[in-house]
Structure 1
Amino acid sequence: MIGNWLKTSVLMAGIIALFGVVGAMIGGRSGMLLALVFGGGMNLFSYWFSDKMVLRMYNAREVDASNSPYLYNMVAELAQRAGLPMPRVYLIDEHQPNAFATGRNPQNAAVAATSGILQLLSERELRGVMAHELAHVKHRDILTSTVSATLAGAISALANFAMFFGGRDEHGRPANPLAGLAVAILAPLAASLIQMAISRAREYEADRGGAEICGDPGALADALQKIDYYARGIEMPTAEAHPETGQMMIMNPLSGGGMAGLFSTHPPTEERIRRLRAMRVARA
């Protein structure tokens, strides 16, 4: 738990620093101070409301035992096995098979699955996926991933502002337009690298934890194999429009074209599957 709070603190500090750099580019010292204040406010806002923003972004609708008993009851059973409070459960009307967890702590968590993943996977495989998402909740990864998605999007918007409206140096003179272009390109890249440094090991740990929760490492391995194959050919428009949210998913939802590929923070699927298969052999 302490480790994840440290990761989140490092993430927030790193992106606050990026806000300061871009603010200085836009308006010198005054711009830097304003950007730092804005960044601090975004951190507080992200802590309390980023999960709601992401769920609304994906048009996720909350379900319960009456309107989606299959998914809801599965999550309830797995949450009990994991010793977690019952999270809110959401369904996203997207053809791409995918899922994610969000929220600031286990008491305020939510898990979301696409309609595509419910159609593609068997019950055994879907249990593996939802157990993976609950492992993120149990490890308290969800705050880090949700805050990073919100702040990375904000730093990208601020960098675009710098490019289109130019900047000022500390004496109020117009800044070099090439420098503004560089900031617009490098700032989102830097935000992505901060996300990437935190995200890759987290996925391996959630795979391991999910396998322990559902008691079947092979189920998650089979699910990842299916999702990886089918997700490649099905776009998720919201993720393409907001690539900074892609790192929240169990599988990279991005097509990988252009700048969107920079936000791919997932480890290789083949290695994830290999580790899960090794867990199954060790249990035998």
Structure 2
Amino acid sequence: MKWLKGMFLLFASNILIMVTLSLTVPLLINFILPMFGIDLRGSVDLSSLVWALVLGFGGAFISLAFSKQMARAMLDCQQITQPRSQAEHVIYGSVQEIAQRLGITMPEVWIYDSPDPNAFATGPSKNNSMVAVSTGLLQNLKEDEVKAVLAHEMGHVYNGDMFATTVLAGLMNTFVYYISMWVRRFFAERDQAALGFGLSIVLQIVVSILASVVINWFSRHREYGADAFSAKVYGKDSMISALRAIDRWVTRSQVEYSTQDALATMKISGNSSGFMHIFATHPPIEQRIAALEQL
């Protein structure tokens, strides 16, 4: 029943957003903007906008609704329901303790097989989520460091970061789809449908890349919030120690296996340099440590 309730709330939110935009956009185009000398009447196709909203938000929210199932399908993982080892007791107990303290439903707790020290949280809502840790995290971090990382992931759950990111992704997807549809319609009206189709594909790729920059920037911003949450739960020293342990593993793996084989660590370390930093989902570790030290 909880799963059905979560699905209902997600689709209700999706519909509410689409209805709100469908009402506000015509008001903006037909009345508000002309008052300021901006006349877009006739240049905006509302039917295309509605379809773009359906495709943009629909895809994003469906992905969120099934995010737990997709994560489990992509990983070699097993759920902890009855802890059998000290490590499992630490993981399960920490998540349970934080969930009880926050007054939210206990997330599913999973361990997956991967050498890189990593963890993630996903799920449609804070009362319908999962937290997973890698075997590499357990092998390379101390107990207090593992607990700090778990608190970081629970921060994502409690702050609703998955839902917020989904809404942002839906907005970006809507923009991408609408631009693509508008270009196709523009050239089709001039009997250049083939050219319009080709340009729309190119624009869709380019705008999607630009949209990912915005989404990744938001993701990096939310990492600082999750770090701060961990600091409140277990103290900032534990989270700083965990980040330094991860950074040591990243450095060691880059030396031993080459930078290319260590790219998996970028999802947690964010140590990409130069221009590529704007595509990172996590800030550089040194910046996260500096932010924690200032708390």
TM-score normalised by the shorter chain: which range applies?
Answer: 0.5 to 0.7
1:270 aligned partner, one-letter code: E
Contact in 1 for aligned 2:216/2:281 (Cα 8 Å)? yes
2:84 is the alignment partner of 1:64? no
Of all paired residues, the percent bearing the same amino acid is 32
The answer to which structure, 1 or 2, has the higher relative contact order (CA under 8 A, 6+ apart) is 1
| Alpha-carbon displacement from aligned partner over 1:19-57 (angstroms, at most 9, x marks no partner) | xxxxxxxxx999887555433431341342233223423
> SS at 1:131's partner residue?
helix
Q: Structure 1 residues 261 and 58, CA, compared in 2 at 3 Å: closer, same or farther?
A: farther
Q: Structure 1 residues 181 and 142, CA, compared in 2 at 3 Å: closer, same or farther?
A: closer
Q: CA deviation at 1:220?
A: 0.4
Per the alignment, residue 23 of structure 1 pairs with none
Question: What is the distance in 2 between the residues matched to 1:196 and 1:183?
Answer: 20
Consecutive unaligned residues of structure 1, counting only runs of 5 or more, are: 17-27, 280-284
- Among 70, 78, 88, the alignment partner of 2:98 is 78
- Among 170, 179, 194, the alignment partner of 1:174 is 194
> SS at 2:127's partner residue?
helix
What is the aligned length?
A: 239
Mapping for residues 59-208 of structure 1, pairs under 5 Å: 59-67=76-84, 68-145=88-165, 169-171=187-189, 173-175=193-195, 179=199, 182-183=202-203, 185-208=205-228
Question: What is the distance in 2 between the residues matched to 1:119 and 1:49?
Answer: 30
Q: CA deviation at 1:66?
A: 3.6
Q: CA deviation at 1:277?
A: 2.7
Consecutive unaligned residues of structure 2, counting only runs of 5 or more, are: 1-9, 22-44
2:55 is the alignment partner of 1:38? yes
- Among 285, 288, 294, the alignment partner of 1:269 is 285
Contact in 2 for aligned 1:105/1:142 (Cα 8 Å)? yes
Q: Which has the higher Rg, Structure 1 or Structure 2?
A: 2
Contact in 2 for aligned 1:98/1:251 (Cα 8 Å)? no
Q: CA deviation at 1:225?
A: 1.3
